[in-house]
Structure 1
Amino acid sequence: MFLIQDQDSGTLFIVLVAITILLLLLVVVVVLFSVFMKRKNSLLLEQEEAKQRFEREITETQIEIREETLRNISWELHDNIGQLLTLAKIQTQNSGGSQQDLDEAVATIGKGLTEIRALSKLINPEALKNMSLPEALNLELERFERMAYLKPSLKISGSPIEIDKKIETIIFRILQEFFTNTIKHSKATHLDVHLNYRGDTVLITVKDNGVGFDYEKARAKNGIGLTNIETRAKLIGATIKYMSQVNEGTTLSLNYKTQSL
């Protein structure tokens, strides 16, 4: 009888231990699942926030490009096309019936019409929206040459790759910011742009022959231009490298590898 009770007690003990172990395992599973879901939700939230930051940056970048475009149109209307039309008016007034003078006036007006056609590409947002990065850069550099800001060049190596239009918008704005700084501050006479496509990567090198600057000092002062360039490069997963020395020009290298956002 006592033997039977001992056996029953042993069985009960084993059952209780088994139940305890199962409960502990269940608790561990629940905790692990809870941690997993919390981590997953946190990652999803971070991804959503990153997506929203990206979309905000795209919107701000598009606005900045439009504002820059409007400034460019204003300068070109005043400094280029306006001067051509004024010259044509003077040539016509002073022609005195001379066929040669009239021909010169007609040629000047023709040049003005050509400039207006080129300018219309900047005004048309759909045209810019559908342009590839090389096409948009070429249009921008052609404007610099028309305005006699400096002598630009564009070189393309390798086979161009397809890049998300939103990414191209940010890359274009990064380069546009560099161009603006070059024209405003560098006193450069030449600006060379090189797009080098290597498989799924594009390496963009921009170099001017201006007065240069001390990069470390400028970076320490948190210059808005440099900060914007570096922030936007980080946003799209691109790497940026500045090389500049006083009186030796400035070079910007941007390396971007296509990826899924």
Structure 2
Amino acid sequence: EQLQSLALLEERERIGMDLHDGAIQSIYAVVLRLEDCAERLSEPSDEVRAGLDKAMDDLNKVLQDIRSYIFDLRPQVLHGDLEKALDDLVQSVRVNALIDAELEVEGDLNGALTEEQAVPLFHIAQEAVNNVNRHAQATSLRVKVTAQSRSVRLEIVDNGVGFDLEDGKASDGHGLRNMDDRARSLGAHLSLESSPGRGTRVRVELPLADVRQ
């Protein structure tokens, strides 16, 4: 079973690399050629110009979709190092989603958490970052973790389109229930701030003393 899981992870990684090195580069080359053709046309009609602009816009959307698929394909594992896993997650967003993402860690994160606490906390961060990648249309993302003697706080903040917290369909579509369930399983509290046009903030407060009693 472990060999099958390893083979599956390796296959997912290979597919992601093939998409990045093959399909993305080919589509990007087509976009550049279309842009060159548009510049070479001395006085294109409005219809021709609109058609070229639409084609380039559609191809750019395809590129973004493929980058999102690659992001979902690449496995994220802890290996006992939550800080490294979070850094890999953030770097993957920078490369594949072209979002200005950064990680800030305060305190001894790995020393503060057990493996049983670190894994669900990472999955919450992963789900929140996936939401930014899929829905937020953000250009900036900040993941901050603060480890103190009696608590750990995780925050994921983006500058995207946000959404209405009262909209049940939007909430369900953003995987909020899964994140909340994971937080509750830890004895942590998850809170969410968002509104249309003003980005989203996900915050998890994990009281270590309560969990370890």
| TMscore range, shorter length | 0.5 to 0.7
Number of aligned residues: 159
Task: Report matched runs for 1:112-191 at 5 Å.
Answer: 128-160=77-109, 161-191=111-141
Name the CA distance, whole Å, in 2 between partners of 1:203 and 1:142.
Answer: 21
Structure 2 partner of 1:247? 197
Q: What percentage of aligned pairs have identical amino acids?
A: 25
TM value normalised by structure 2: 0.63
Structure 2 partner of 1:110? none
In the TM superposition, residue 72 of structure 1 has moved relative to its aligned partner by: 6.7
In the TM superposition, residue 67 of structure 1 has moved relative to its aligned partner by: 8.6
Residues 171 and 247 of structure 1: is their aligned pair in 2 closer, same or farther, counting only changes over 3 Å?
same
Structure 1 outlier segments of 4+, above 4 Å: 66-73, 83-86, 219-224
SS at match of 1:215: coil
Contact between 1:76 and 1:147, CA under 8 Å: does it hold in 2? no
SS at match of 2:166: helix
Name the CA distance, whole Å, in 2 between partners of 1:85 and 1:140.
Answer: 23
Q: Deviations over 1:14-45 (max 9, x none)?
A: xxxxxxxxxxxxxxxxxxxxxxxxxxxxxxxx
Name the CA distance, whole Å, in 1 between partners of 2:142 and 2:121.
Answer: 16
Out of 110, 130, 153, the position equivalent to 1:203 is 153
Residues 221 and 247 of structure 1: is their aligned pair in 2 closer, same or farther, counting only changes over 3 Å?
closer
In the TM superposition, residue 183 of structure 1 has moved relative to its aligned partner by: 0.7
Q: Which amino acid aligns with 2:182?
A: R
Name the CA distance, whole Å, in 1 between partners of 2:120 and 2:10.
Answer: 15
In the TM superposition, residue 163 of structure 1 has moved relative to its aligned partner by: 1.1
Structure 1 partner of 2:31? none
Residues 217 and 137 of structure 1: is their aligned pair in 2 closer, same or farther, counting only changes over 3 Å?
same
Name the CA distance, whole Å, in 2 between partners of 1:72 and 1:248.
Answer: 34
SS at match of 1:216: coil
Q: Which amino acid aligns with 1:147?
A: N
In the TM superposition, residue 182 of structure 1 has moved relative to its aligned partner by: 0.7
In the TM superposition, residue 175 of structure 1 has moved relative to its aligned partner by: 1.1
Q: Which amino acid aligns with 2:118?
A: E
Residues 166 and 219 of structure 1: is their aligned pair in 2 closer, same or farther, counting only changes over 3 Å?
farther
Task: Report matched runs for 1:42-57 at 5 Å.
Answer: none
In the TM superposition, residue 190 of structure 1 has moved relative to its aligned partner by: 0.8
Identify, as 1 or 2, the structure richer in helix: 1
Q: Deviations over 1:89-141 (max 9, x none)?
A: xxxxxxxxxxxxxxxxxxxxxxxxxxxxxxxxx66x8xx34242111000111
Unpaired runs of 5+ residues, structure 2, are: 27-73
Matched, 1:234 2:184: yes
Name the CA distance, whole Å, in 1 between partners of 2:178 and 2:202.
Answer: 14
SS at match of 1:188: coil
Q: Deviations over 1:211-236 (max 9, x none)?
A: 00011223796457111111111111
Structure 2 partner of 1:82? 22
Higher Rg:
1
SS at match of 1:130: coil
Contact between 2:97 and 2:133, CA under 8 Å: does it hold in 1? no
Structure 1 partner of 2:37? none
Residues 85 and 252 of structure 1: is their aligned pair in 2 closer, same or farther, counting only changes over 3 Å?
closer
Contact between 1:239 and 1:255, CA under 8 Å: does it hold in 2? yes
Name the CA distance, whole Å, in 2 between partners of 1:70 and 1:249.
Answer: 35
Q: How big is the alpha-carbon RMSD for the aligned residues of Structure 1 and Structure 2?
A: 3.3
Q: Which amino acid aligns with 2:108?
A: S
